Amino acid sequence: MPAKIVVQDLTKTFASDTGALRVLDGISFTVDEGEVVAIVGPSGCGKSTLLNIVAGFERPDEGLVQFDGATMTRPTSRGILISQHGSVFPWLTVQQNLMFGLNGHAMHDKESLADRYAAMVGLNGFEASYPHELSGGMLKRAELARALVVKPDVLYMDEPFAALDALMNLRMRNELLRILAKERHTILMVTHDVEEATYIADRILVLSPRPTRIQTSFEVSLRHPRQLTSPEVQELRAAILRQLGVDSFSD
């Protein structure tokens, strides 16, 4: 099976006051269809830049990104970005937000599709609400539903649940796993939360500090739902943290 996403030798340099700042320094990896890949790295290492390039929003200086074998030059609706701070349109209701990306459907079909996906993420009864009337967790659900309703192959997630409180963060992880069990998507997520990565991902790539390269890769073959307290997960977590230069004192 050919890889869904191929990333080859990406480099990116930003101009800064003190001269050129090299952010990405030759990054290559692939993501297979249906795979959940998490990229973890220290803050400021260029995780978001990497994801923005892979999703087609920014251009690399060198290297290329292939999506289904074709070179990415701009974003497509087959891969939706869930941004860190959320991008649910505040001037549209939940239903209007969900219908936003649905082109070429009849109005009635759009509405019923939107309502079905709102119900799927637990937002039934809030279709007519405006985003400022929703809590942070509900906003994330709306954003997730808006992405899923266009039936993308890939979800790009940038620190998807970082802005939520700890309890809602846990809930949304389970929600995501529940949805993944129902509709098999390919997911590429970046996060600084090692626990989140070990809970969700099939494979974890660890980035080095700037200029960023891929330092290590961990295959996670544990089945869902994973027990975060189990020895295997704890061992994995400690190994990733060691890669990030943090010693774990959990045992």
Partner 1 sequence: MGQTQVARAAAREAGTIQLISMPRLKQVLPSVAVIAVLLGVWWSVVVATSSVIFPTPWQVVNGIGELMRDGTLWQHIAASLFRVGTGFALAALIAIPLGLWMGWTRGAFTTLNPLIQMLRPISPIAWIPIAILWFGVGNVSPIYLIFISSVFPMVVQTIAGVHTIERRYLWAAANFGVSRYTLFRRVVIPAVLPQIIVGMRIGLGVAWLVVVAAEMIALRSGLGYLIIDSRNAGNRYDLVIAGMVMIGLIGLMLDGFMRLLERLKAVRWRYAR
Give 13's strand partners: 22
**Residues 6+ away with beta carbon under 8 Å from 157:** 81, 82, 187, 188, 189, 190, 191
Residue span 150-169 as binding mask against partner 1, x where in contact by CB under 8 A, dash where not:
x-------------------
Task: Give the distance from CA 191 to its chain's centroid.
Answer: 8
Q: Is 90 in the site for partner 1 (CB under 8 A)?
A: yes
| Contact call for residue 186 and partner 1 (CB under 8 A) | no
Say whether residue 106 binds partner 1 (CB under 8 A). Answer: no
Q: Which residue has the tokens 């990497």?
A: 50
- State which H helix or E strand residue 233 sits in: helix 231-243
Report, in Å, the least distance between residue 174 CB and partner 1.
25
- Asked if 131 interacts with partner 1 (CB under 8 A), we say yes
CB 98, min distance to partner 1, A: 11
Q: Candidates 11-19, 35-43, 72-80, 230-238 — which segment interacts with partner 1 by CB under 8 A?
A: 72-80
Tell me: does residue 104 bind partner 1 (CB under 8 A): no
Note whether 87 binds partner 1 by CB under 8 A: yes
Q: Which of 18, 132, 181, 245 is close enough to bind partner 1 by CB under 8 A?
A: 132
**Pick from 130, 136, 168, 222: which binds partner 1 (CB under 8 A)?**
130
Q: How many C-beta neighbours within 10 Å does residue 43 have? A: 8
Q: In the chain, what is the greatest distance between 2 CA atoms, to the nearest angstrom?
A: 58
Q: Within a 13 Å sphere around the CA of 9, how many CA atoms are in the beta-carbon half?
A: 2
> According to CB under 8 A, which one of 20, 74, 181, 231 is a site residue for partner 1?
74
Question: CA-to-CA distance for 177 and 194, rounded, in angstroms?
Answer: 17
CA within 13 Å, CB half, 183: 19
- The answer to whether 229 contacts partner 1 (rule: CB under 8 A) is no
Residues that bind partner 1 (CB under 8 A): 55, 57, 74-77, 80-81, 83, 85-87, 89-92, 100-101, 103, 130-132, 150
